Amino acid sequence: MLRGRSGPTPTTLLGTSVLGVYLLVVVGATASLTEAAEACSNWPGCAGSLDDPAVLVALGHRITAAVLGLLVLVTSFIVFVSDTSTRVKGATAGALVLYPSQVVVGAVLSTGTNLPTGLHLLVGLAIFGTLVLALAWQLEDVTGKTEQPIGPATARPTTDSHTESVESSSEHSAFASHRTGIQTRLYAYFRLMKPRLMWLLSLVAAAAMALAAGSGLAVRTIVLTLGGGVLAIGASGTFNHVLERDRDRRMSRTNDRPTVTQRVPVRNAVIFGALLTAASVVLFLQVNLLTAALGLVAILFYTVVYTLVLKPNTVQNTVLGGAAGSLPALIGWAAVTGRIGVTGVVLAGLIFVWTPAHFYNLALAYKKDYARGGFPMMPVVRGETTTRKHILLWLGATLAATTTLIRLSQLGWLTALTTTTLGAVFLWAAVRLHREQTETAAFRAFHASNAYLGLVLVAVVVDALAL
């Protein structure tokens, strides 16, 4: 950063530019702006009447683009004259070079020339991507520090795991003392199903169904698909508890799980998971065969591929494991259409890129715990600085994926407003995480990521049902 100079810093200007360009790109992806451009068919002015709301929207977009162009220019100048790294200057220069191209493409499209309409969005996302890259590198340079990663996930507990388990059991017993025996047992089985995952993954499937069917979505399809989905999630969570019980015993946040404390014997948990799997497949079969097949694949992927192969063996476990969370999007789409469609794949892609931006925050907060458990999470193997950078990069990919979904599905202003507003909150939390580097900041970013995806999915459902 520039020393002894007052005014906005390169980091502040880059962050502002990222948000501004994202807002412009999202608005440009909405169906409303496409209709507005048709009402304003010359450039840079507009032959339409200012009494026409569509003309006002088109002119407003062009004026905003001009203002943001000046912001990118000023940002580039400050970055170039500051002692920022070569890579930050290079990425910022990329945005500066691309911006006039975006203006030219927009001008050509507004005059009715036969160009692919997606080209405008593609260039806009490229500008956004280069600015996100510049911001991530700048934050890494400014807030990063040399650290010694814990190393390959071979660390063992620094405290006696049996003592931790006994202490956790005592706390849980105090909680359970207010319940009857049957209530305690039912609650233990309920915990096996990882209920906190259910609401978000059910929303993913609901959004996919709404996008596929619009206002014609049948209640029967909703009930069977979401019911089968909840059971599939429960089965996956149960098998995960069984397979990770030894590692869970080492971790303070998981050593009170039912299979660790033996409130649910392993044999009973396996039977319970198998029953949930069977019930899930039965419900999915009432919808169609593809939905049932995808549901079974989701259970097997989370149980075998993620839990046994990816999570304990590779630092990319969170990234590759995101495929498990993406499958409900394909399940929801298949439930309505009987096939896998492009829009369903894009929604699945959104969940895939959101997963590391979301979960890396939790990995930061529980870094030492994951090391005790022997999991090669990103902060454990690569360090916290690299993890924070990756959170920002995956966040940029998440915002880009949402914009692509808006354009492809012709979603309305509710989704656009939600992704820009909550995206700004998510970005703010990620930047704060870089600066504060505390567990509190990591949890703040974690909750911001949950709020972002949850509310975006709700907006998608509302907009899709209104189409």
SS (H, E, C) 231-271: HHHHHHHHHHHHHCHHHHHHCCCCCCCHHHHCCCCHHHHHH
Confidence check: pLDDT of 161 > 60:
no
Q: In this predicted model, what pLDDT tens digit does every residue of 351-362 receive, in sequence order? A: 999 999 999 999
Amino acid 401: pLDDT: 97
Q: In this predicted model, what pLDDT tens digit does every residue of 288-317 receive, in sequence order? A: 999 999 999 999 999 999 999 999 999 999
DSSP for 124-142, written as a single string: HHHHHHHHHHHHHHHHHHH
What is the arithmetic mean of pLDDT over 18-29? 90
Confidence check: pLDDT of 45 > 80:
no
Whole-angstrom distance, CA of residue 117 vs CA of residue 394: 26
Q: Which of 14-18, 99-103, 273-277, 294-298 has the lowest mean pLDDT?
A: 99-103
Vertex 142, ends 439 and 147: CA angle to 5°? 55
User: What's the pTM value of the predicted model, to 2 decimals?
Assistant: 0.88
Confidence check: pLDDT of 176 > 60:
no
Q: Domain locations in the chain?
A: 10-143, 162-466
Q: In this predicted model, what pLDDT tens digit does every residue of 124-158 receive, in sequence order? A: 999 999 999 999 999 999 998 766 666 544 444 44
Amino acid 244: pLDDT: 95
Q: Which residue has the higher pLDDT, 299 or 410?
A: 299
Do 201 and 234 contact (CB within 8 A), yes or no?
no
- Pick from 403, 383, 367, 392: which is nearest to 445 by CA? 392
Whole-angstrom distance, CA of residue 102 vs CA of residue 91: 16
Amino acid 156: pLDDT: 45
Amino acid 8: pLDDT: 83
**Where does the pLDDT of residue 7 fall: very low under 50, low under 70, confident under 90, or very high at 90 and above?**
low
Confidence check: pLDDT of 164 > 50:
no
Whole-angstrom distance, CA of residue 84 vs CA of residue 360: 26
Q: Looking at the domain that runs over 162-466, which CATH code has it been given?
A: 1.10.600
List all residues 6 or more positions away from 436 whose beta carbon is below 8 Å from its beta carbon.
Answer: none
Q: In this predicted model, what pLDDT tens digit does every residue of 115-127 receive, in sequence order? A: 676 788 899 999 9
Whole-angstrom distance, CA of residue 220 vs CA of residue 218: 5
Confidence check: pLDDT of 172 > 60:
no
Confidence check: pLDDT of 281 > 80:
yes
Amino acid 280: pLDDT: 98
**Where does the pLDDT of residue 64 fall: very low under 50, low under 70, confident under 90, or very high at 90 and above?**
confident
Amino acid 119: pLDDT: 84
Whole-number average pLDDT of the chain: 87
What is the arithmetic mean of pLDDT over 88-99? 95
What is the arithmetic mean of pLDDT over 105-119? 70
Percent of the chain with pLDDT over 90: 72
List all residues 6 or more positions away from 184 whose beta carbon is below 8 Å from its beta carbon.
Answer: 176, 263
